[in-house]
Amino acid sequence: MSSPVVVPPRGGLLHILDAAGYSLAGLRRLWAETAARLECVAAIVVALAFLLRGVEVWHWLVAAALFALVLAVEALNTAIEVLTDRISPEWSQTAKDAKDLGSLAVGLLLTVNCVFVGLVLLGVI
């Protein structure tokens, strides 16, 4: 059985096109995660609440940036989990720590999102 051929990266605009394709593949992989789908549902709920509340444009911008950050951190957490499972298929404290730290990063950012949305909906900011 032959090993896969490593294709050298292309330059210029083709490199940008390739990078966009990798990003779309990552998005498809992230969509397979239940947590990411639930975060998207939460974003829709927040958007509906913002519409009903008639919040200011800057609230929308901050919420959109925070939501994008949640998905980015969720993607990194998923990458950590996938790599950890590949490198350490057996249980180990180190693997558990890596996964727990990735989960903590997502949890902290979700907390920031919830606090921001709560303050906006309560009219505090």
Active site residues: 74
Looking at residue 3, the DSSP 8-state letter turns out to be: P
- 123 Rama sector, left if φ>0, alpha if ψ -120 to 50, beta otherwise: left
For the chain, give the longest Cα–Cα distance: 64
Rounded Cα gap, residues 81 and 103, in angstroms: 9
